[in-house]
């Protein structure tokens, strides 16, 4: 057989064996709970890495609340102490912890809105990642931020007279209240951020809400000092029961009624804003 004949013959399987199929990586299905947990942990690490490397946001989350605490103590401390008969630190420290949780969430909202505009959310959405993982990762990152800020502010509060008079369990309860409040507020802020147009006025809107709440609560001034028509609003707005629970956990006193209010507010915010956050995230990722 000539070389030309051999070249014309079709190649056989023996001469060119079929390559084996590439191995498929084993792992949970994209929509499974296991995938959601694994992807949430990875993406939460990403969010925390961004937070730690952003020195401006880091200072705003930790330094600004501490300075606010000192300012409130210097300006209002003696007046509140004389009016209530109790060291003002027991109202100021819980107030600043909650204010720090609210204002710190603005950085996360701005980052989410900016990532929507750059198309990062769209790129994450087409990857084999659980659909809810990125949003839950942002909430977990916010909880870690609030935890760190709360511990820092509690330590700083010791310098202005704040004390844990009810033991370790009560101190843990103070941190738990701050986390519950911060988680519900963060969900509301993320829902707002993901549904706002890229570059929208998120910061002014959140700042206005947080500022109004900051100046109308029992930590800023005793409820009796507000006009009578305003007292029911001050008493029942989300910050006041949280401050009162944290105050009672630190000094002793009734907890149940205000704790129930805190839980009701937290559950209500989560119920109202979780679905808009999920729906808005999907729309933001698919309609850049």
pLDDT, tens digit, for every residue of 119-175? 888 888 778 888 788 888 989 999 999 999 999 999 888 888 888 888 889 999 999
Q: Give pLDDT, residue 103.
A: 81
pLDDT digits (tens, 9 = 90+) for 222-257: 888 889 999 999 999 999 999 999 999 998 888 999
Poorest-confidence range of 5-9, 56-60, 131-135, 282-286?
5-9
Q: In the block, which residue shows the tokens 């949280």?
A: 242
Reported as a pLDDT band with limits 50, 70 and 90, residue 83 is low
Reported as a pLDDT band with limits 50, 70 and 90, residue 269 is very high
Which long-range CB contacts under 8 A does 21-28 form with residues at least 24 apart?
none
pLDDT digits (tens, 9 = 90+) for 196-218: 776 667 677 777 888 888 888 88
Reported as a pLDDT band with limits 50, 70 and 90, residue 75 is low
């Amino acid at each position: 057989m000539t070389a030309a004949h051999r070249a014309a013959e079709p190649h056989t399987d023996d001469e060119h064996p079929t390559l084996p199929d590439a191995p498929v990586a084993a792992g949970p299905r994209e929509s499974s709970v296991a995938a959601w947990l694994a992807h949430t942990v990875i993406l939460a690490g990403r969010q925390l890495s961004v937070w730690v490397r952003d020195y401006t946001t880091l200072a705003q989350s930790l330094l600004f609340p501490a300075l606010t605490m000192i300012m409130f103590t210097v300006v209002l401390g003696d007046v509140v102490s004389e009016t209530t008969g109790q060291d003002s630190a027991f109202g100021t420290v819980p107030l600043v912890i909650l204010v720090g949780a609210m204002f710190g969430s603005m950085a996360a909202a701005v980052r989410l809105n900016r990532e929507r505009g750059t198309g990062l959310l769209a790129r994450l959405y087409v990857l084999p990642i659980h659909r809810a993982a990125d949003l839950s990762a942002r909430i977990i990152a916010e909880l870690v931020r609030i935890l760190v800020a709360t511990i820092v502010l509690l330590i700083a509060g010791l310098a202005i007279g704040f004390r844990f008079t009810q033991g370790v369990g009560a101190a843990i309860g103070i941190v738990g209240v701050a986390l519950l409040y911060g988680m519900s507020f963060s969900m509301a802020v993320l829902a707002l951020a993901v549904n706002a147009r890229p570059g929208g006025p998120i910061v002014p809107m959140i700042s206005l809400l947080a500022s109004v709440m900051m100046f109308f609560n029992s930590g800023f001034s005793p409820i009796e000092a507000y006009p009578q028509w305003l007292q029911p609003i001050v008493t029942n707005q989300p910050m006041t029961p949280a401050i009162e629970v944290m105050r009672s956990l630190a000094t002793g006193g009734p907890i149940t009624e205000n704790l129930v209010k805190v839980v009701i507010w937290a559950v209500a915010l989560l119920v109202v804003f979780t679905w808009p956050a999920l729906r808005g995230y999907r729309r933001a990722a698919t309609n850049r």
